[in-house]
A and B are shown apart, each in its own frame.
Chain A
Amino acid sequence: SQTIHQWPATLVQPVGSPLSLECTVEGTSNPNLYWYRQAAGRGLQLLFYSVGIGQISSEVPQNLSASRPQDRQFILSSKKLLLSDSGFYLCAWSPPGGSFVHVEKLFFGSGTQLSVL
């Protein structure tokens, strides 16, 4: 069966510090991968998605970047965190199919609560 791992669960970082959140998926090959951010009491904002190694699409301009160094590994990074980067970050995957498949189900990780102080 497929599983998704996301860590850390909680992170408190000072403004200006770097960030690295990691997400890995097991039990499937070539999944579509996603990073979402959820501000308190708000919906989910899609940050990045990837349909393959090295293929990253960004939804919104921001202080963050994403990389996919391996098929089932997705990393969210920042060189210098801002206060506005605080939020709940969720990694998710969907079955493979590249860009031209309409997503019918997302499987989410357990999330990382990031507080930038």
Chain B
Amino acid sequence: SQQGEEDPQALSIQEGENATMNCSYKTSINNLQWYRQNSGRGLVHLILIRSNEREKHSGRLRVTLDTSKKSSSLLITASRAADTASYFCATDDRGSTLGRLYFGRGTQLTVWP
């Protein structure tokens, strides 16, 4: 399937450190997105990177995309305890005409104060 896979499954760091999460996917895409989910809540869109982009920034977030390796990374700089959440990558499918997103299993990030 097209479903992305995040790595690592869990990440535990101290406040102020940087957090890096990776995502791999299987087929050609138009865009890749990252979402955040606080425990027991819905997902919130963080950032989108298109297939013709290699890097994108939004505040403390930095996303890279390597379409040749079918992989992406999300970097959160200077992490805070409030960044504790699960982070998911989501991809579409360039070969499909249907508006669907495929999500990975997520990375659980814990930031200790």
Contact = CB atoms under 8 A, between A and B. Distances in A.
Interface of A: 6, 32, 36, 41-44, 46, 49, 51, 57, 59, 88, 90, 92, 94, 97-111, 113
Interface of B: 3, 30-31, 33, 35, 40-45, 48, 88, 90, 92, 97-106
- Most chain A beta-carbon neighbours within 10 Å: one of B30, B45, B88, B101: B101
A43 B101 contact: no
A103 B40 contact: no
A92 B104 CA distance: 17
B63 to A, nearest CB: 14
Nearest to A95: B99
- Most chain A beta-carbon neighbours within 10 Å: one of B35, B97, B98: B98
B31 A102 contact: yes
A103 B32 CA distance: 10
A46 B90 CA distance: 12
A97 B99 contact: yes
Contacts of A107: 45
A49 B99 contact: yes
Contacts of B48: 104-105
6 smallest A-B Cβ distances: which pairs? A108-B42, A43-B105, A44-B103, A102-B30, A103-B99, A108-B43
B49 to A, nearest CB: 11
A29 B90 CA distance: 25
A44 B92 contact: no
A42 to B, nearest CB: 6
B7 to A, nearest CB: 13
A101 B44 CA distance: 20
A100 B99 CA distance: 6
B42 A110 contact: yes
Given A42-B105, A43-B105, A104-B48, A90 B92 contact: no
B42 to A, nearest CB: 3
B41 A111 contact: yes
Contact of A105 (B33, B42, B88, B106): B33
A111 B85 CA distance: 16
Contacts of B30: 102
Contacts of B40: 88, 111, 113
